Amino acid sequence: RKEVEQDPGPFNVPEGATVAFNCTYSNSASQSFFWYRQDCRKEPKLLMSVYSSGNEDGRFTAQLNRASQYISLLIRDSKLSDSATYLCVAHNTDKLIFGTGTRLQVFP
């Protein structure tokens, strides 16, 4: 079983839609979690850190459920520019563990 698992997608959604990505992690010792976004042939860019209480940044909301070992990312009012791969990441001990990424395609 992979340490961090995501639905690879693709998720194809119209502009203005709300889309949710889910991620599970297997190592209960994981302490910190992040969402990165990666555009085709570019580097991963930090989107959000995920806190236990949940956190929101504009159209983006991240949630963490430690009991279920589950992380989510909600994107509201999707824009064409949101099209990218979204990487769920857990920090274990001394390094990052990446999920395989969920591909999002927003269409007009």
Partner 1 sequence: DTEVTQTPKHLVMGMTNKKSLKCEQHMGHRAMYWYKQKAKKPPELMFVYSYEKLSINESVPSRFSPECPNSSLLNLHLHALQPEDSALYLCASSQAQDRRYEQYFGPGTRLTVT
Stretch that binds partner 1, among 9-17, 37-45, 65-73, 74-82 (CB under 8 A): 37-45
| Cβ at position 95, least distance to partner 1 in Å | 6
Please tell me whether residue 105 binds partner 1 under the rule CB under 8 A: no
Between the alpha carbon of residue 102 and those of residues 9, 11, 54, 94, the distances in Å are 5, 8, 20, 24
Please tell me whether residue 68 binds partner 1 under the rule CB under 8 A: no
Distance CA 55, CA 89 (A): 16
Please tell me whether residue 34 binds partner 1 under the rule CB under 8 A: yes
Q: Residues 73 to 92: which contact partner 1 by CB under 8 A?
A: 87, 91-92
Strand 11-14 and strand 4-6: the pairing is unpaired
Distance CA 85, CA 91 (A): 19
Name the residues that contact partner 1, by CB under 8 A: 31-32, 34, 41-46, 49, 87, 91-96, 98-101
